[in-house]
């Protein structure tokens, strides 16, 4: 049996911006900074969220917001200037808001949103 599942807690590297496909579906690409075992060990993880999850991230989270993402790894492959390229990112199915861009609103660490 194979399993592709990932859970990460980190902080948004920059504000999330929503985009729309040609078919009208909303999505966002964003990165989170995840600390390692050492103080100077930080990984920047690319993530992708769709529809309601993307909309809620844009509305309630900003640069520096702490979030937890659950999802699966997906490897994008393409060719540029005759060279094969690839990038692995998290395809987000659920996000937990551990901190929001507006701290006066109710923190929703117990709430999660699926798309």
Predicted local distance difference test score (pLDDT) of residue 99: 79
The radius of gyration of the chain from alpha carbons, rounded to an integer in Å, stands at 15
Predicted local distance difference test score (pLDDT) of residue 103: 52
What is the tens place of the pLDDT at every residue in 15-65? Answer: 999 999 999 999 999 999 999 888 789 999 999 999 999 999 999 999 999
Helix ranges (H only) for 20-81 are: 51-60
- Closest to 85 measured CA to CA, from 93, 73, 77, 75: 77
Strand partners, 31: 46
> Looking at domain 6-102, which CATH architecture does it have?
Beta Barrel (2.40)
Cut 0.95: pTM above it: no
Q: Domain boundaries in the chain?
A: 6-102
CA distances 108 to 17, 69, 102, Å, are 21, 14, 11
């Amino acid at each position: 049996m194979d399993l592709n599942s990932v859970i990460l807690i980190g902080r948004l590297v920059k504000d999330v911006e929503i985009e729309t496909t040609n078919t009208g579906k909303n999505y966002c690409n964003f990165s989170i900074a995840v600390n390692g075992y050492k103080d100077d060990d930080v990984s920047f993880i690319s993530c992708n969220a769709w529809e309601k999850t993307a909309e809620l991230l844009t509305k309630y989270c900003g640069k520096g917001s702490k979030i937890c993402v659950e999802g699966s790894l997906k490897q994008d492959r393409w060719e540029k200037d005759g060279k094969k390229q690839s990038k692995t990112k998290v395809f987000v199915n659920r996000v937990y808001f551990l901190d929001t861009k507006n701290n006066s609103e109710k923190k929703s660490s117990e709430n999660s949103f699926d798309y």
